A and B are shown apart, each in its own frame.
Chain A
Amino acid sequence: MDDLIVKTITKLVVPFIQLYGIFVILHGHLSPGGGFAGGAIIGASLILFTLAFGVNHTNKVVPPSVTEKIETGGIIWYALLGFVGIAVGTSFLSNKIAGFPLGNYGSVISGGLISLATIGIGLKVASTMITLFHRIIEED
């Protein structure tokens, strides 16, 4: 697995894949894609990184304690977004009525709850893919 060509190419390619993944997450409410698709792209880039450089190298880059915090944080973040609705007096997970700033149509910061939730989901899907992949790789 530690073939030189693969390593150099991954070093070149991985940042661009991750940039594209972040683009897909951030533009989740403007263009097709969104939390799940963007998270899968970022997860795939990190899996490519693990395949090229081996598991323990990636563990230094993305240590398990960080991925665990992202997973727990993802759900708590989503529940907090929902509780904003209750705090304001409307029901759980409400967006426009709960006063989220909807921003102007077509720009990146628009859609209030939607873009915040999509970012949370994107990170969570990416960290889920990495942890699952590392768990299964370390097993054999």
Chain B
Amino acid sequence: MISNHLPVYILILLLISAVTTPAIKPSSKKFRPKLVGTLTIASLLALTMFIVVWTNGPFYYNFGNWDSVIGIEFFVDEYTSLFVLAVLLISLLIIIFSLEDILHDIPKEKTPHYYTLMLLMVFSMLGMIMTNDLFNLYVFMEILSLTSCGVISIKRNKANIMASFKYLMLGTIGSVSILLGIAMLYMVTGHLNMGATSQTISSVWQMYPRNILISLSFILTGLGLKAAIFPLHVWLPDAHSAAPTPSSAILSGIVIKIYAFSMIKILFRVIGIDIIKAISINEYLTYFAVISIVMGSVFAIGQKDIKRLLAYSSVSQIGYVFLGIGIATEMGLVAGMYHIIAHAMMKSTLFLSAGAVIYRTGIRKVNEFDGLGYELPLTLGAFSIAALGMIGIPGVNGFMSKWYLGLAAFEIGKPIFIIFILISSFLNAVYFLPIVISAFLKESNRREQIMIRDDIPFTMKAPLVVLGAACIVTGLFPNIIVNVIQRALPTFMTFVF
């Protein structure tokens, strides 16, 4: 199976284009096509990888042809390739959006640095999804946390630098505790490869139970800190509201989901389902998730600034993913993984449309949104589609993940989770609906600037339309994603090496 070098081609293509971006002057004509071209080629490669995996099953890729225990190994199964494809497509749309929007935030000479950081961020995210080696996961996580702080602090005003410093400090505490957890796992099992570790853990579990418990708690706190679960989410609102729009879209939409997916990989592929049930870690995960769902929405209600409101709603939405992981059954995982992709689409649409509004009218306060629907029908249309999805109206993909979560909660006999999901949907409605209503139904005191068609540049309208349509399509036909997850589930549930 060595003939299939696709993962390497995607990663190295992104790396080389990220490294050569500073060499091209931003004013030259080749600058933009090169950026968009790299990501389109990478998405096509990801599509072929998905087709290859869909036809003849998951494959391992060993670097340097070493045995999987000796060298580093990539493991690409159905869900990984779908997630890689989704990440690449959404980043492509976000970068297309940012071509015009970023010029408002940073001077033109700085754009090469910004796009290098963005491409390196996508490179490290794909690395984290595909790797099957614990230390390699840590190295990619470091690149991701460094670039995500760099992407915030590129707009050099006081709020950004302070938010990015706070994010850097808390993010580094998270990754240091994850490294300590990996070190403890290595101390007990002697392997860094995920498959080999999970095999040795099941045999060594009786001898060193406390060691594995402590290492697991370090890893979960580190990942929870980086994925902004409720008690550890303090850095997220400042970071995501101060950042330029495309970076807050990619940060909220995809980056925190990558940490959630790494938690799924570590919990189900390294530790294994029976040990998790034995020490009932997933019970505590569900409690944290439920608190995070409710408290995230409660905080979001009181927000005035549109971006802070969306940042707090990300905290509550990541709670859905962790609720799916905490339920730890087939249906729970399906719900969690489905919501990872569904929320990536919805949150990117919300942040991009909020950015378009700020780009055109400069309005950031939520209560000044009345009458904007006439001025920017397309932008606010995409915003309301995604907002309805977040509330959970059928037909948009948000509803499907709540539906699967409800089924999963019902399956394990805990209907209390369904009540919490309904409460949070209600809370979402409390803070999303007023925006949509005031945008479309209220008169705007800026009547005189009525423009029937949006006059935001085409490169900003196209991503919004595509993302809005994607939300609806995956909402109406969820099996596109669910079948893929169903096929990938055996690798998580009973990962026999």
A72 at the interface (CB under 8 A from B): yes
Does B16 lie within 8 Å of A91, measured CB to CB?
Answer: no
Does A79 lie within 8 Å of B15, measured CB to CB?
Answer: yes
A90 at the interface (CB under 8 A from B): yes
Q: Give min CB distance, A123 to chain B, whole Å.
A: 15
On chain A, the residues within 8 Å of B2 by CB distance are: 89-91
On whether A68 and B19 interact (CB within 8 A), knowing A91-B5, A92-B63, A95-B64, the answer reads: no
- In Å, the complex CA distance between A82 and B61 comes to 14
Q: Which of B20, B22, B23, B63 contacts A93 (CB 8 A)?
A: B63
B199 at the interface (CB under 8 A from A): no
- In Å, the complex CA distance between A72 and B17 comes to 10
B459 at the interface (CB under 8 A from A): no
On chain B, the residues within 8 Å of A68 by CB distance are: 22
On chain B, the residues within 8 Å of A94 by CB distance are: 63-65
On chain B, the residues within 8 Å of A97 by CB distance are: 64-65
B70 at the interface (CB under 8 A from A): no
Does A75 lie within 8 Å of B64, measured CB to CB?
Answer: no
- In Å, the complex CA distance between A91 and B15 comes to 18
On chain B, the residues within 8 Å of A76 by CB distance are: 16, 19-20
- In Å, the complex CA distance between A74 and B297 comes to 47
Does B15 lie within 8 Å of A92, measured CB to CB?
Answer: no
Chain B interface, >50% SS class: helix
Does A91 lie within 8 Å of B65, measured CB to CB?
Answer: yes
B473 at the interface (CB under 8 A from A): no
On whether A92 and B19 interact (CB within 8 A), knowing A79-B12, A82-B12, A97-B65, the answer reads: no
On chain B, the residues within 8 Å of A82 by CB distance are: 8, 12
- In Å, the complex CA distance between A92 and B12 comes to 10
On chain B, the residues within 8 Å of A89 by CB distance are: 2
B4-28 contacts to A (CB < 8 Å):
5, 8, 12, 15-16, 19-20, 22-23
Does B19 lie within 8 Å of A72, measured CB to CB?
Answer: yes
Q: Give min CB distance, B446 to chain A, whole Å.
A: 43
Q: Give min CB distance, B21 to chain A, whole Å.
A: 10
Could you say which of A79, A90, A91 has the most chain B C-beta atoms within 10 Å of its C-beta? A91
- In Å, the complex CA distance between A26 and B64 comes to 23
Does B61 lie within 8 Å of A79, measured CB to CB?
Answer: no
Does A75 lie within 8 Å of B19, measured CB to CB?
Answer: yes
A51-87 contacts to B (CB < 8 Å):
68, 72, 75-76, 79, 82-83, 85-86
- In Å, the complex CA distance between A78 and B63 comes to 14
On chain A, the residues within 8 Å of B62 by CB distance are: 91
On whether A75 and B5 interact (CB within 8 A), knowing A91-B63, A93-B63, the answer reads: no
Does B20 lie within 8 Å of A85, measured CB to CB?
Answer: no
- In Å, the complex CA distance between A93 and B2 comes to 13
Q: Give min CB distance, A100 to chain B, whole Å.
A: 11
- The size class of the interface chain A forms with chain B is 10 to 19
- In Å, the complex CA distance between A63 and B89 comes to 39
- In Å, the complex CA distance between A75 and B21 comes to 13
On whether A86 and B64 interact (CB within 8 A), knowing A75-B19, A79-B16, the answer reads: no
- In Å, the complex CA distance between A92 and B20 comes to 21
On whether A92 and B22 interact (CB within 8 A), knowing A75-B15, A79-B15, A97-B65, the answer reads: no
Instruction: Mark interface residues in B196-214 (1 if CB within 8 Å of A CB, else 0).
Output: 0000000000000000000
A11-56 contacts to B (CB < 8 Å):
none
On whether A86 and B5 interact (CB within 8 A), knowing A72-B23, A75-B15, A76-B19, the answer reads: yes
On chain A, the residues within 8 Å of B63 by CB distance are: 91-94
- In Å, the complex CA distance between A90 and B64 comes to 7
- In Å, the complex CA distance between A103 and B16 comes to 30
Does B64 lie within 8 Å of A85, measured CB to CB?
Answer: yes
- In Å, the complex CA distance between A95 and B62 comes to 13
Q: Give min CB distance, A9 to chain B, whole Å.
A: 37
Does A90 lie within 8 Å of B22, measured CB to CB?
Answer: no
Q: Which of B12, B23, B64 contacts A91 (CB 8 A)?
A: B64
Q: Give min CB distance, A29 to chain B, whole Å.
A: 16
Does A92 lie within 8 Å of B16, measured CB to CB?
Answer: no
On chain A, the residues within 8 Å of B20 by CB distance are: 72, 76
- In Å, the complex CA distance between A86 and B2 comes to 9
A80-116 contacts to B (CB < 8 Å):
82-83, 85-86, 89-95, 97
- In Å, the complex CA distance between A90 and B20 comes to 27
On chain A, the residues within 8 Å of B22 by CB distance are: 68, 72
Q: Give min CB distance, B247 to chain A, whole Å.
A: 22
Closest to B20 in A: A72
Closest to A85 in B: B64
Q: Give min CB distance, A1 to chain B, whole Å.
A: 29
On chain B, the residues within 8 Å of A90 by CB distance are: 2, 64-65
On chain A, the residues within 8 Å of B15 by CB distance are: 75, 79
On chain A, the residues within 8 Å of B8 by CB distance are: 82, 86, 91-92
Q: Give min CB distance, B120 to chain A, whole Å.
A: 11
On chain B, the residues within 8 Å of A86 by CB distance are: 5, 8
A-B pairs, 5 with minimum CB distance:
A94-B64, A92-B8, A94-B65, A90-B65, A75-B19
User: Which A residues contact B (CB, under 8 angstroms)?
Assistant: 68, 72, 75-76, 79, 82-83, 85-86, 89-95, 97
Name 21 interchain pairs, CB-CB below 8 A, sorted by A: A72-B20, A72-B23, A75-B15, A76-B16, A76-B20, A79-B15, A79-B16, A82-B8, A82-B12, A85-B65, A86-B5, A90-B2, A90-B65, A91-B2, A91-B5, A92-B5, A92-B12, A92-B63, A93-B64, A97-B64, A97-B65
List 13 additional contacts besides A79-B15, A92-B8; criterion CB under 8 Å: A68-B22, A72-B22, A72-B23, A75-B15, A76-B19, A79-B16, A82-B12, A91-B8, A91-B64, A92-B12, A92-B63, A92-B64, A94-B64
